[in-house]
Amino acid sequence: MDSMVTCIAPVNIAVIKYWGKRDEKLILPLNDSVSGTLSTDQMHAKTTVMRCKDFTEDKIWLNGKEVSFSNPRLLSCMKEIRRLSRESGTSEDIVNTKVHICSENNFPTAAGLASSAAGYACLVFALKELFGVKQDITRVARLGSGSACRSIYGGFVRWHKGDLADGSDSIATQIAPPSHWPLHVFILVVNDKQKKIGSTPGMQRTALTSELVQYRIKESVPKRIEDIIQAVKERNFDKFAEITMKDSNQFHAVCLDTYPPNIYMNDISHEITSFVHTYNELFPKPKVAYTFDAGPNACIYLEEESVPDFAATLQYIFPPEETLESYFKGESVQFGTVNE
């Protein structure tokens, strides 16, 4: 029987960063990571998957353009979904039917704004529905893009690095649902062009050349993971903010310690960092926390009560070109644009 499914999946913003793999093919990370998943209302991927007995081959369209289905990560997700579908008791006819996939992002692709995370989470979730898969699919999303496994759940999510060589324990679990702590996130788009060093070559280079990354994965991250989970559970924003900012800084220090260095932040990113610290000094405890992924754009976490004052100050210091409404866990926040 022919069938069609459409899904929407939001991006997630890591507060303890994933950087470096111990297995390239299975996408097994060097360390655990934690992120918050934004609400589906704003930055998201939307994917429609269709199976039809008349289709002769699997095909995919990204942002309206047909692209080759030969991408090894896409192929490995497809293969795993069909295997799990068979294991779930779906009939052989359905398992072997070819699919057509249409996926689009409503935000810049590959600009360090977690586009592949939303894209693969959305694709894998839609395929799970289409093929009647019953098992955990975070490990399938991981095969597409590591951080995608965290976008399968809302709220705060932990990706466990796992210890097994086959990756079966490298899965994502929810730490707290969206309703637990409705934080806000401002995304300050410093540059929406494709990043210079993609995360895959960037991570490879770090794993091969950085000495600091060894300290990070062995000493810093394990403690930070426990501490930030506790901060989330207790809704302790100042503890959450300090760990988030320290981890972002250490991740970029590891990138600079890479040879040749991976330089993702630019002068405006550093200005935003200073601005956040200056702003926080006005209060007894930090009110906002920055974090930067593999690009110059800033993600700012803050509590609801801090939104009006921080938004007004931000717009004064960095007047935005356009202001869009964005959402984190159902709560409205500003979506600013900072121009270079």
Task: Tell me if 119 contacts ligand PMV by CB under 6 A.
Answer: no
Among 32, 247, 257, 293, binds ligand PMV (CB under 6 A): 293
Q: Compute the distance between CA of residue 150 and CA of residue 167 in angstroms, rounded to an integer.
A: 15
Handedness of CA 89, 118, 198, 59 (dihedral sign): positive
Query: Is residue 17 within the footprint of ligand PMV (CB under 6 A)?
Result: yes
User: SS3 for 295?
Assistant: coil
Using CB under 6 A as the binding rule, whether residue 178 contacts ligand PMV is answered as no
Residue bearing tokens 């007047």: 319
Give the whole-angstrom CA distance, residue 134 versus residue 29.
25
Among 37, 47, 103, 116, binds ligand PMV (CB under 6 A): 116
Task: Please name which of 100, 99, 63 lies closest in space to residue 82, comparing C-alpha atoms.
Answer: 99
Q: Which residue has the tokens 């209060």?
A: 283
Q: Nearest approach, Cβ of 289 to ligand PMV (angstroms)?
A: 15
Count Cβ atoms below 10 Å from residue 64 Cβ, excluding itself: 8
Residues 97, 293: Cα–Cα separation, whole Å: 38
Rule CB under 6 A: say whether 228 interacts with ligand PMV: no
Torsion sign (Cα): 266, 272, 278, 284? negative
If binding is defined by CB under 6 A, does position 32 make contact with ligand PMV? no
Q: Rule CB under 6 A: say whether 33 interacts with ligand PMV.
A: yes
Q: Does 140 bind ligand PMV (CB under 6 A)?
A: no
> In angstroms, rounded to a whole number, what is the distance separating the alpha carbons of residues 161 and 30?
7
- Contact with ligand PMV (CB under 6 A): which of 20, 36, 146, 296? 146
- Check residue 254 for interaction with ligand PMV (CB under 6 A): no
Site for ligand PMV in 300-319 (CB under 6 A): none
Q: Does 269 help bind ligand PMV (rule: CB under 6 A)? A: no
Nearer to ligand PMV by Cβ, of 39 and 206: the residue is 206
Residues that bind ligand PMV (CB under 6 A): 14, 17-19, 33, 114, 116-117, 145-147, 199, 293-294
